[in-house]
Structure 1
Amino acid sequence: MGDQGCGYTLDEALSTIGFGKFQVVVLAYAGLGLVAESMELMLLSFVGPAIQPEWGLSSNQESLISTVAFFGMLVGAYLWGFVSDSYGRKKGFLGAAITATGAGLLSAFVPSYTALLTLRCIVGVGLGGGHICASWFLEFVPTSNRGVWMVVFSTFWTVGTIMEASLAWWIMPGYGWRWLLGLSVVPYSVALLFYGFVPESPRYLCTNGRLTEAQYILEKGAALNNKKFPVGLLVSDHTKDLVYESQSPETTLLLSSMTNKIDDSQRNTPSVFMLLSPKLIRTTLPLWFLYFCNTFSYYGIILLTSQLSMAQSECDPLTLQSENIKDDSLYINVFITSLAELPGLVIAAVTLDKIGRKICMEILMIGGFILLLPLVVHHNDIMTTSFLFGARMFVSTSFVVACIYAPEVYPTSLRATGVGIATAVGKIGGMVCPLIAVGMGSGCHQTLPVILFEATILLSGLAVMLLPFETKGKELTDNIE
C-alpha cells in the first residue's frame, strides 16, 4: 500500500481487512438469496409431473410451466441487472425478491392452468435477479482468495436443491404441490426480513463517487474482522497514482474531494451496446454462448432425472403417473443427483485458483460428456441414477465456474448488467430445455434428448476456448478504460 497517511484504494483496503466475520455475514445473506432461487427452480421438477395427471395436461402443456418461468427469468435478468448497476446492488435484489415472493405465494392458490402459467412467469422475473447476489458478494472479497470463496458461495445453490428435494419428498405425497409452492418462498421471505441489516457494495459506491459511504462500510468491516483499518482517505483508481506521487495528506484530501466529479464524468448508463463495444465483444459473445449451452445442459439433466424416474423402464402411460408421484423413487433419485453437486464443488475449490477458470471448465465439461454418453441407451434404475449423478457433478460445477468467471470479467460499472444479459441469454436455453427433456424424454424416447445435451456440452467447451483471457488472480476493474 502507499503511504498510509495519505490514501488507499478499495482493493488495498479489502486486502488489509482480509476475509473475516464481515464477509461471512455478507456470504450468509447472499447465500440465502441463492438458496431461494435454486429452490424455486428445483420445484419445477416436481410440480409439472404432479399437475399433469391432476389437470389432464399434455406433455407440451407440462413443459410450458418450466418454459414460462425461464422466459420470466430472461426478462428479469436484464431488468434487475440494469437496476443494480444504476441504483445499487441492494435495490436490484430488493425488487427481485419482492416480485418472486409475492408471485410465488399467490401461485399456491391458483384456480387454473392459465393463472399458474402467468404467476410462474412473474416468479421467473423475480428469479432473474438471482445473479445480483454473486456480483454483490464478489465485490467484498479480497483478490487473493476470491476463487475459493466464490465456490463456497456457490454451495448455497446445491444446499437449495437438496432442501427442495427433501421438502418435496416430505410434502408432495401427503399434502400436494400447492403446499410445496407456498413453502418454497420462505427463503426469499427471510431475505426480505433481514434486508436492512446488510451493506451496499463498497465497490459500487466507489464507482459512483460515494467514497465517504464506502469508507464507512469498510471501517465497520475492519472492526468486525478485528483488523486495523488503514489511516487516510479512500481514493478511486483514477487518482491513486497522483496520491502516491504527492505523498501529501493535503493533496490526498483535495483529490478525494475531486473524485466524485471525476467518476460522474466517466460513469456511463449501463447498456447492452457497451457490452458489444470493441473492448468487450470478444468476451461478451462467447460468454453468451457459454451461458446458453450451460443452462440448456444443466437443467436438461435435472428435468431428465425426473422424467427417467417416472417408471421409464416400463414406459408407463399418463394414467399411471399420478401413482408415480407418490412413489419415493422420484424424490430419491432427484435427491441423490442433487448431492452430486457437492463433490464437484470440492473439485472446483481445490483447482480453480491453481489451474485457472478456463482450464477448469474444460476439464469438467469433458467429464460431464463422458458420463452422460451411456444414457443414449436404456439402463436399469441404479445405472441410470449413477450416470446422472456423475454427469450432473461435472456439468453443474462447470456452470458454477462460468458464473464465477462472468462477474470477474466485467468492470463494476457494467458488472450486474453484463452478467444479467448473459444470464438472460442462458434462460433462452432454459426455455427450450423443458420442451426437449419433458416432451422428447417422455415415454421411451431418451436417446434424442441425451444426444442434444451432449452436443451442447461440446459447444460449451468451444465457447470457453474462445474466451479471450483468464481472470485467475486478477483484480476487479471498475471501468471499461
Structure 2
Amino acid sequence: MADSMKTQLVSAIHLQEVELQEKPGDRQTDSDANGNEEQTYSVEEAVETIGFGRFHILLFVIMGSCNIIEAMEIMLLAVVSPEIRCEWRLEDWQVALVSTMVFLGFMLCGALGGYISDRYGRWTVVFIGFVWSAYFSLLTSFAPSYGWFIFLRSMVGCGVAGVSQGFVLKTEFIPAKHRAFLLPLASVFWMIGSMLIIILGMLVVPTLSWRWMIRISITPSVILIFLFKYIPESARYNVSAGKVQAAVDTLQWIAKMNRVSLPPGRLVEPVVNERGNWKILLSPAFRRTSVLLWYSWFVASFAYYGSVLSSSELLEKNLLCVTNADKDHHVKHHQEDGLCYCIPFALSDYQTLLISCLGEVALVPLNIGLLNLLGRKMSLTVVQLLAAIIFMMINVCTTMSGFVVLLFLLRSLVSMNFNVVYIYTAEVYPTVARSLGMGFCTSFSRIGGMIAPFIAQVLMSQSVILALTPFTVACVICALGNFLLPIETRGRALLQTS
C-alpha cells in the first residue's frame, strides 16, 4: 500500500511539473566547456515563442485537407452501397461487410503506422498514406467482383490509417493556447470531404456509374501528394530522435515565415531511445488513461459511423416513421422484403445527406466554447450524453423535415465527440509515444467502425429501435467513464518524454 501511494504521489508531482506555467522570459541555463553559463530552450518554448502565424495557416490548410481525403474515403461507402447492392445483388450482411473490411484495414495498420511514426517520423507515414490510399482507391474502381472490391477497400483503409497520423504532425506545431481553437476547425475539412463525395455521387453516379465517381474522388489525394513537400517533419520528433540540428532548421524556417525570432541560446532536448515503446501506454502513469481512451475511441467511431450508415439505410429503404410520407416512401417501403432490394438514391436522398453533412461544422463554435470553458473531459461527457438522447429521438414518428433536423444535430454531436477525443489523445501522450498512442486509439476506434455496419445496415431492417439502442447505451457508458480519466489537458504543455 505504501509503495502504491508513493507511485501516485510521484506521478502527481510529475504532472504538476509539466504544467505550462513557465513565463516566456524564464530561460534555462547550461554551462559550456569553459564553465560559462549559456541560455538554452526546449522545443515547447520555441513553439510558444513563435506563436501563431503564416506557417500555421499553411499547416492548417494542407494538413486539414487530410480530413478531406479521410472523409471522402469513408463517406464513399454510404454513397456507393445502393449501387454495389444492385450490381452484384448483395444481401444486407454483404453490404455491411464492405464497411467492416475498410475498418479492418484501418485497425490493422493504425497501430503499425503509429509505431513507425514514432520510430521513423510522422512525415513519412502520412506521405505513404496519401500514395497508398489513392493507388488502391483507383484500383477499387476496376474491381471485377464483390470479393475484389472488399479486398481493395480494406487496402484503402490501411492507407487512410497512415493519413490520420497527420493530426499528430499538425498538433505538435500548434501553441497550447491555440489548440482548442484550431483543432476543432478540422471538422470543416471533414465536412468538405463528405459533401464532395455526396455531390460526386449525385452528379456522376446516375450518368457515368459509381466506378467513375471513385476515379474522380482520388483527385484531392494526388494534389496533396505534391503540396505535402511544404510541410516539414515534426521538430518534436526530430529532437527525440537526436536530430537536433534538423529540429533547429525547421524551427528557424517557421520563425522566419511567422516573422519572429527563436528564443536566445541553443536548443537542448534529451535523446530518447524508447520511442514507439508500447509499454509506455500501459505504464502506471498512463494505464488508466489508455484503457479509457481505447473505449472512448471505440464509442466515437461506433456512434459516428452508426449515424452515417443509419441515415443512409433509413433513406435507402425508407424505414422512417414519416407522418407526411410521399409516394416514393411507400414504393420503397413495399419492396423491403424483396430478394434483391435495389433502388438507387433519389435526388432528395442526396440532398438530405448533404444537409446532414452541414451538421459537421454547425456546432463548431459550441465545441470550441466547451473545450475552453469545461475542459476536454467534461466536454466529452456533455457531447456523448446529448448524442445518446438524439439517437433515441430518431425513432420518434415525425415529419421528413423533423428527421432532417434530428439527423443534422446527431451528425454535429458525433463529429464534436470525435474532435474532442482526437485533441485529448494528442495532448495527453508524450512525444515519444504520441503517434503510437494515437495509432492504438484509432485501431480500437475501427473495431467500433467494424461493428457499426452490422447494426446500422443489417439490424436496422429488422427493427429501428433495436438498431439505435446499442449506440445510445454505448454513449451513456462512455460519458460516465470519462469521470475516471485522471488527466485534464486544457492549457497543459505537450509532454516530450514519459
Q: TM-score, normalised by structure 1?
A: 0.90
| Residue among 344, 354, 364 paired with 1:345 | 364
Identity %: 31
Q: Does 1:59 align with 2:92?
A: yes
Separation (CA, whole Å) in 1 of partners of 2:344 and 2:179: 44
Residues of 2 paired with 1:77 and 1:316: CA distance? 42
User: Residues 357-413 of structure 1: CA distance to partner in whole angstroms, max 9, x if unpaired?
Assistant: 111111112222222222234443222222111122112201210111001110000
Could you list the runs of 5+ residues in structure 1 that have no partner in the other structure?
Answer: 237-261
SS in 2 for 1:398: helix
Q: 1:245 aligns to what?
A: none
Bigger shift: residues 219-228 or 372-381: 372-381
Q: Does 1:80 align with 2:99?
A: no
Shift in CA distance, 44/229, structure 1 to aligned 2, threshold 3 Å: same
In structure 2, how many angstroms separate the alpha carbons of the residues matched to 1:472 and 1:274? 22
Q: Write the distance in 2 (CA, Å) between the matches of 1:80 and 1:420.
A: 6
CA distance in 2, matches of 1:457, 1:225: 42
Give the 3 Å change call, closer, same or farther, for CA 110–367 of structure 1 in structure 2. same
In the alignment, which residue of structure 1 is the partner of 2:284?
278
Q: Report the equivalent of 2:151.
A: 118
Alpha-carbon distance in 2 for matches of 1:316, 1:460: 38
1:53-108 deviations in whole A, cap 9, x for unaligned?
12111111111111100000001211211111110001111222221111000001
Structure 1, residues 406-441: CA drift from partner, whole Å, max 9, x if none?
011100000000011011011001001101101111
Instruction: Please list the CA deviations of residues 320-350 of structure 1 after superposition, one character each: whole Å capped at 9, or x if unmatched.
Output: 854442x112211111111011122221122
Match of 1:191 among 198, 202, 224: 224
Structure 1 position 446, deviation (Å): 1.1
Please tell me whether the aligned partners of residues 187 and 361 of structure 2 are also in contact (alpha carbons under 8 angstroms).
no
**1:362–1:464: 8 Å Cα contact kept in structure 2?**
yes
- Correspondent of 2:192 among 151, 159, 166: 159
Deviation string, structure 1 residues 263-302 (Cα, Å, up to 9, x no partner): 1xx4214233331122211100000011111111110000
The separation in 1 between residues aligned to 2:151 and 2:120, in whole angstroms, is 28
Do structure 1's residue 398 and structure 2's residue 404 form an aligned pair?
no
Distance 1:105 1:324 in 2: 23
Match 1:294 to one of 292, 300, 317? 300
Counterpart of 2:389 in structure 1 is 370
Shift, 1:211, TM fit? 1.4
Matched with 1:358 is 377
Which one of 319, 332, 336 corresponds to residue 312 of structure 1? Answer: 319
* Cα distance between partner residues in 2 of 1:141 and 1:413: 17
State whether residues 296 and 433 of structure 1, in contact with CA within 8 Å, keep that contact through their aligned partners in structure 2: yes
Aligned twin of 1:251: none
Distance 1:42 1:141 in 2: 28
- Whole-angstrom CA distance in 2 between matches of 1:293 and 1:10: 34
Which of 382, 403, 407 lines up with 1:384 in the alignment? 403
Distance 1:380 1:405 in 2: 38
Distance 1:323 1:53 in 2: 8
Deviations 1:234-273 (A, max 9, x none): 112xxxxxxxxxxxxxxxxxxxxxxxxx51xx42142333
Q: RMSD of the alignment, in Å?
A: 1.7
Provide the secondary structure at the position in 2 that maps to 1:349.
Answer: helix
* Distance in 1, Cα, partners of 2:133 & 2:286: 32
C-alpha distance in 1 between matches for 2:85 and 2:343: 12
Cα distance, 1:66–1:365 mapped onto 2, change above 3 Å: same
Question: Are the equivalent residues in 1 in contact too, given 2:45–2:263 (CA < 8 A)?
Answer: no
Aligned position for 2:55: 22
Q: Match of 1:44?
A: 77
Deviation at 1:193, TM superposition (A): 1.5
Aligned residues: 451
Counterpart CA distance in 1 for 2:168 and 2:334 is: 45
Relative distance call for 1:161 and 1:463 in structure 2 (3 A) is farther
- 1:184-214 Cα offsets, whole Å, 9 max, x none, are 2222211212232220011111111211111
Q: How far is 1:131 from its partner?
A: 2.7
Q: Distance in 2 between matches of 1:18 and 1:62?
A: 48
Displacement of 1:305: 0.7
Q: Deviations 1:129-188 (Å, cap 9, x if unpaired)?
A: 233111000000111222111112332222211222222222222222111211222222
Match of 2:326 in 1: none
Q: Which runs of 4+ in 1 moved over 6 A?
A: none
Deviates more, 1:365-374 or 1:134-143: 365-374
Aligned to 1:477: 495
Runs (5+) with no aligned partner, structure 2: 1-24, 29-37, 321-329
Name the aligned partner's letter for residue 125 of structure 1.
C
Distance 2:220 2:478 in 1: 32
Residue matched to 2:466: 448
Q: TM-score, normalised by structure 2?
A: 0.87
The whole-number CA distance in structure 2 between the counterparts of 1:330 and 1:386 is 14
| Partner secondary structure for residue 479 of structure 1 | coil
